[in-house]
Copies of this chain bind each other. A is one copy, B any other.
Amino acid sequence: MLVLISYDISTIDAGGQKRLRRVSKECLDYGQRVQYSVFECEVDPTQWIFLKDKLLNTVNLKKDSIRFYMLGSDWKRKIEHYGCKKPVDLHETLII
């Protein structure tokens, strides 16, 4: 299934930049950055429990916010992209 993850990390304090880096690194283990603070991660239910737990332990819930959108398995027809920096479709045939 595809999970869209969006977040606002407070970077007022010194730890904010560190949390920001960690959250993006954790998301990149399972997906790709589609906009500055928005990631799409394709995970199975077990991977999702693991990733969600890691993310919720990384953010500071008193200062930051994080949102998860469950887009299911039939997610391709639900997403439209316009403009530059179109993310890679990892399911498309790769011609080398």
Chain B CB within 8 A of A21 CB: no
Q: Which 8 residue pairs are nearest across A and B when measured between Cβ atoms?
A: A65-B83, A61-B83, A68-B80, A70-B78, A8-B35, A65-B85, A6-B38, A64-B83
Which of A's residues lie within 8 Å of B, judged by CB? 4, 6-8, 34-38, 56, 59-71, 77-86
Closest residue of B by beta carbon distance from A71: B69
Residue from the list B35, B59, B68 in contact with A67, Cβ < 8 A: B35
The CA of A68 and the CA of B68, in the complex, are separated in Å by 15
The CA of A18 and the CA of B60, in the complex, are separated in Å by 32
The CA of A35 and the CA of B65, in the complex, are separated in Å by 8
The CA of A72 and the CA of B63, in the complex, are separated in Å by 30
